[in-house]
C-alpha cells in the first residue's frame, strides 16, 4: 500500500512539472503549446540513453535531458516567432506529432515502439526505490518551482506578462517579442525535460505512448483547471488530475474501476469547458490586473 501511494505521488510530481512547463507559456505569454509532453519525451529519451547506453551518472543524465529538451524548444521557438495565438497552438501540435513519429520510427536511437527499458531507478540515502523517486521528485519540483517563481517576479517575468496582456503596447515600450518568446519557450522546454528525466527513472521504461497529443490535451486541461500564472495552480491541477482517478479505483463498482482512465478524460473534458466559462483563473490561478482593480 505504501509503495502504491508513493508511486502515485511520484506520478503527480511528474504531471505537476509538465503543468508548470505548460503554464510558463500559457500563464505569462498567453500561448498554449501542445508540444509539452513530446518535449518531455525528448528529455526522457536523453536521460534513458545516458543511463542505459552510456552508464552516465544521474546529474549528467539530468543535464542531458534538460539540454536536449531546450534544444528542441529553441527549434520550436525559432519556427514560431512569425506566428502567434491559434497558429502557435497548431505549430506546437505539429511539432508534437512529428516528434512522436520520430520516437516511433527512428529505431536506431529510440528502439521504436518497444522503447528503452532498464532505466535505473533512483536510490539515495538508503531509502527504498519508490521513496527515493519521491524524494528526488519533490526536490526537483521545489527547485523548479522556486526558479520559475523567481523568474516570474523578476523583470523577465514582467516583460512576459506585458507581452501576454498587450503585445502592441509592450513592443512600443521596447520589449522585443521574438527574443522574449525564445527565452520563454526554452525555459518551458527545460522544465519539460526535467519532467522527462523524472519519468524515465521513476517508470523505468521510455516508450512513445505517453508523449502523444492526448497527453498534451490532458495537460492543457489540468493546467486550466488548476489555474494559470502560479506554480501552486499547476500543482493543484496535477493533484486533481492524478488523485481523482485513483480514488475511483476504490469505489465499489466494477465497471467504474475498469474504465477509470476513460472516465477521467470525460470529467476533465467537461471540467475544461466549465472552468473556462465560470472560473477562467482556475482553482489557484493568478488574477489579472483588471480583476484585482475591480475587486
Partner 1 sequence: MSYQLFLQVLANGFFTGILFGGIAVALAICNLADRSLHVAIGSVIALVSFFWLAIIRSELPVVFGFILLAGISLIANLACLAVYRWLSRRGVNAEGIVVASFGLLIAGNSALELIYGTELESMRAPWLQGKIKIGGIRFFYGDLIMSGVVLSMLAALWATLRFGGFSLQLRSVFHDAREAAIAGVNIPRIQVLAYAFCSVLVIIIALSIGSRSSVHPHMGFFPLLIGIAALVTGGLGSVRSAFLSGVAMGIIWDFVGIYFGTVWQFASVFGILAVVLLTAPEGIFALRVRWPRKATKPNV
CA distances from 236 to 121, 125, 145, 256 (A): 26, 29, 13, 24
Query: Which of these, 121, 137, 55, 105, lies nearest to 207 by C-alpha position?
Result: 105
Shorter beta-carbon distance to partner 1: residue 68 or 223: 223
Stretch (H or E) spanning 261: helix 260-278
Radius of gyration of the chain (CA): 19
Judged by CB under 8 A, the residue of 5, 90, 117, 124 near partner 1 is 90
Q: Work out how close the CB of 105 gets to partner 1 at its nearest, in angstroms, rounded to a whole number.
A: 6
Beta-carbon count within 10 A of 85 CB: 11
| Cβ closest to partner 1, residue 18 vs residue 95 | 95
Q: Where do we find the cell 507559456?
A: 25
Asked if residue 165 binds partner 1 (CB under 8 A), the reply is no
Residue 82 in the binding site for partner 1 (CB under 8 A): yes
User: Is residue 106 within the footprint of partner 1 (CB under 8 A)?
Assistant: no
Q: Is the separation of the CB atoms in 28 and 160 below 8 Å? A: yes
- All 3 cell numbers of residue 219? 495537460
Question: Taking CB under 8 A as the rule, does residue 94 contact partner 1?
Answer: yes
Q: Which residues contact 288 (CB under 8 A, 6 or more apart)?
A: 165
Among 11, 221, 235, 238, binds partner 1 (CB under 8 A): 221
Nearer to partner 1 by Cβ, of 86 and 247: the residue is 86
Q: Decide if 217 contacts 55 (C-beta within 8 A).
A: no
Q: Under the criterion CB under 8 A, does residue 98 sit at the interface with partner 1? A: yes
Site string for partner 1, 256-275 (x = CB under 8 A): ---x--xx-xx-xxxxxx--
User: By C-beta, is 104 or 246 nearer to partner 1?
Assistant: 104
Q: From the CB of 208, what's the least distance to partner 1, in Å?
A: 11
Which residue number, 11 or 271, has a Cβ lying nearer to partner 1?
271
Q: How far apart are CA 73 and CA 91, in angstroms?
A: 12
Q: What is the C-alpha to C-alpha distance for residues 251 and 42, in angstroms, rounded to an integer?
A: 36
Read off the C-alpha cell for 278: 465560470
Dist. CA 283–CA 295, nearest whole Å: 17
Q: How far is the CB of 9 from partner 1 (least distance, A)?
A: 25
Among 32, 49, 72, 136, binds partner 1 (CB under 8 A): 32
Q: Please choose, out of 5-13, 17-25, 138-146, 219-227, the segment that lies near partner 1 by the rule CB under 8 A.
A: 219-227
Whole-angstrom Cα distance, residue 32 to residue 277? 17
Q: Which is nearer to partner 1, 29 or 202 (CB)?
A: 29
Size of the site for partner 1 (CB under 8 A): 42
Interacting residues with partner 1 (CB under 8 A): 30, 32, 79, 82-83, 85-87, 89-91, 93-95, 97-98, 101-102, 104-105, 213-214, 217-218, 220-221, 224, 259, 262-263, 265-266, 268-273, 276-278, 280
Amino acid at each position: 500500500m505504501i509503495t502504491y501511494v508513493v508511486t502515485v505521488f511520484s506520478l503527480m510530481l511528474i504531471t505537476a512539472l509538465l503543468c508548470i512547463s505548460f503554464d510558463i507559456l500559457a500563464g505569462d505569454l498567453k500561448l498554449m503549446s501542445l508540444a509539452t509532453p513530446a518535449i518531455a519525451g525528448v528529455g526522457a529519451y536523453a536521460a534513458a540513453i545516458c543511463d542505459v547506453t552510456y552508464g552516465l551518472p544521474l546529474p549528467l543524465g539530468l543535464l542531458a535531458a534538460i539540454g536536449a529538451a531546450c534544444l528542441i524548444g529553441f527549434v520550436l521557438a525559432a519556427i514560431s516567432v512569425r506566428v502567434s495565438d491559434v497558429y502557435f497552438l497548431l505549430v506546437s501540435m505539429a511539432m508534437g506529432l512529428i516528434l512522436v513519429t520520430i520516437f516511433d520510427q527512428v529505431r536506431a536511437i529510440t528502439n521504436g515502439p518497444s522503447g528503452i527499458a532498464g532505466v535505473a531507478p533512483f536510490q539515495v540515502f538508503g531509502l527504498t526505490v519508490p521513496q527515493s523517486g519521491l524524494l528526488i521528485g519533490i526536490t526537483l519540483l521545489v527547485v523548479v518551482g522556486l526558479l520559475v517563481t523567481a523568474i516570474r517576479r523578476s523583470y523577465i517575468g514582467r516583460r512576459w506578462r506585458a507581452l501576454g496582456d498587450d503585445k502592441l503596447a509592450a513592443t512600443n515600450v521596447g520589449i522585443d517579442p521574438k527574443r522574449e518568446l525564445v527565452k520563454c519557450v526554452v525555459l518551458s522546454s527545460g522544465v519539460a525535460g526535467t519532467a522527462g528525466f523524472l519519468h524515465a527513472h521513476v517508470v523505468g521504461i521510455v516508450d512513445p505512448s505517453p508523449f502523444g497529443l492526448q497527453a498534451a490535451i490532458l495537460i492543457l486541461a489540468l493546467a486550466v483547471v488548476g489555474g494559470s500564472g502560479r506554480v501552486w495552480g499547476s500543482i493543484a491541477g496535477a493533484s486533481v488530475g492524478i488523485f481523482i482517478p485513483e480514488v475511483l479505483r476504490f469505489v465499489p463498482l466494477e465497471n467504474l474501476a475498469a474504465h477509470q482512465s476513460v472516465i477521467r478524460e470525460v470529467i476533465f473534458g467537461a471540467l475544461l469547458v466549465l472552468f473556462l466559462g465560470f472560473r477562467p483563473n482556475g482553482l489557484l490561478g493568478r488574477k489579472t490586473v483588471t480583476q484585482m482593480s475591480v475587486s
